Amino acid sequence: MKSSPRRLRRFCAAAVAAGVLVGPALAGAAYGAGAIPLPPPSPPPTTAPAGTGFRQLTPAVAAELDSAVRRVMREAGVPGVTVGLWAPGKGSYVKSFGVADKATGAPMAAPLHVRIGSETKTFTVTALLQQVDRGKLALDDPIGKYVGGVPNGDRITLRQLAGMRSGLFNYSLDADFDKKLLADPERSFSPRQLLGYSFKHGPQFPPGARFDYSNTNLVLLGLVVEKVTGRPLHKVITRDVLRPAGLHGTVFPTTAGLPAPYAHGYTDQTASGRTEDATAWNPSWAWAAGAMASDLDDLRSWARTLATGTLLKPATQAERLKTTPMNVPGAGYGLGIFDVQGWIGHNGSIPGYEVLPVYLPQAGATMVIVLNTDSRHDNQEPSTLFGQAVTEIVTPAHVYPSHGQLAPRTG
């Protein structure tokens, strides 16, 4: 079956409630110097703010959630999913459904690692913003100051790249890239190869003119981080972001392997069009935009750290949270982060897996959804379907996403 660039558009989902995209690239640079240690994140509040609109997670509400999750699983054909909800003063709900491995029937479970797709973008942009805090770069610097050969490189700023307003073509929509990846999903790509697929198309619109989700933006930002730190991106994120945030189950892999224990992932983004096990697919093509892996507990912690800006100076976090309109009502995109109906965070999708870790400041509440497929149902990301079903029950005033598809299918 001939591959279609439309199919790969959902690789590495990212931007908003419906799943946005995927991002790639390996690394390569001169590596050196150490990083400034950062303090650990502050503990979560012990009581919920009054009038948050978050329902008490009673046994009756838990039963509603069980029913809703099973319904989405059945309708969307999802093998396995774990749903976690935590709200101060309201209780918690953590439950796994279905299987982590179709071949063995092993059950889905909260401790299992999964690939997190475009949630990786939140880590890459955090690493970039830390360099802003250290005076190593400025958000309004042009990308051409750090990376040569970028179309409009003298005009596109780092802020526009992080905010998905650069106008650069998304390499994961390129037909040649699509063909090569589907022909050999275990092959390795370099960041420069990925940029080549983008740059042959030229700019799509003037810098800053509008929102357009592109994995190309994050590959460039990953290269910027490497340039200013003198270290490989995976080492920067591990030392400067993961360790200070206390995330011990999250990794930026440099191979196709997943840390054990892990859930197998299943996708219909294949050359044949049939659903296949994508667990061993090489995520190098998603590099700074989507290559990382994590587990439920770490995603819970990270959702709050990301939304509250623990690892950044308050002024830098304020810049991050300044959103610009997307293509759906009630949703805005900041710098590697979104606000959808009050839920702050980022979703992620890559062949075989999807995650949705988000934080609702009004309630001090966190929602994390982890599943082992990215195959769509009625053109909707399954993580979005679960997010909407869950929030319709627990936060009816903040339903995620309460609208249709937000962006092209791209992981």
Beta strands at 91-98 and 80-87: parallel, antiparallel or unpaired: antiparallel
In angstroms, the CA 92 to CA 174 distance is 43
* Cβ neighbour number for residue 396 with a 10 Å cutoff: 12
List for the chain the helix, strand, coil content (%; round to 5). Answer: 35, 15, 50
- In the set 3, 4, 42, 118, the catalytic residue is 118
For residue 355, give the 3-state DSSP assignment. Answer: strand
Cis peptide before 142 (omega within 30 of 0): no
Is 118 among the catalytic positions? yes
Q: Bin 164: left if φ > 0, else alpha if -120 < ψ < 50, else beta.
A: left
Nearest to 410 by CA among 145, 118, 190, 192: 118
With CA atoms as reference, report the closest residue to 374 among 269, 263, 256. Answer: 269
The answer to whether 183 and 135 have CB atoms below 8 angstroms apart is no
Q: Distance between CA atoms of 97 and 81, rounded to whole angstroms?
A: 5
Beta bridge partners of residue 87, listed in sequence order: 91
Contact 387, 83 (CB under 8 A): no
The strand pairing partners of 371, in sequence order, are: 81, 354
Of 100, 118, 369, residue with least CA distance to 261: 100
Q: Could you tell me where the DSSP H helices lie in 144-256?
A: 158-162, 175-183, 191-199, 215-229, 233-236
Which residues partner with 96 through β-bridges?
82
Residue among 196, 201, 242, 237 at smallest CA distance from 220: 196
Q: Which amino acid is at 306?
A: L
Q: Which residues are catalytic?
A: 118
